[in-house]
Amino acid sequence: MATTLLFVYGTLLSGERNHPLLAKAEPRGAACTAAAFDLVDCGGFPAIVPGGSTAIVGEVYAVDDPALAAIDRLEDHPHFYRRTVIRLTDDHLVEAYLLDRDRTTGLPRLPSGDWRDQR
């Protein structure tokens, strides 16, 4: 079965409320994006916005098609988040859910790039 390498950085992280959607996924470890994004606090969940200068901290999982479809529904892809190919600091290309900048106007930025730091 085909898998997709998925970078997660918020409620899908290990120990977070939506992580059960990754129960059958293969963990590939901690990861960090290139410093090309902003991390935004959307109130209860974060969003990556392209075009910033922050490296985002997260985890990578090899996700099968049924799990990816379930996560797409959670993230309302492609109507809210858009699953997009991004580059990690180790030059691997993975997919992640990004939000358009216009949806984040006025929301606080998390300069650490680590959603868990906000708590």
* Separation of alpha carbons 117 and 60, rounded Å: 19
Residue spans of the domains in the chain: they are 3-104
State the average pLDDT over residues 11-19.
97
- By CB atoms closer than 10 A (0-12, 13-18, 19+), residue 115 is buried
Q: Name the percent of the chain lying above pLDDT 90.
A: 95
**Statement: residue 119 has pLDDT above 70:** no
Q: Which residues are catalytically annotated?
A: 75
CATH label, 3-104, candidates 3.40.50.300, 3.40.50.2300, 3.40.50.620, 3.10.490.10 = 3.10.490.10
* Separation of alpha carbons 48 and 37, rounded Å: 6
pLDDT tens per residue, range 93-103: 999 999 999 99
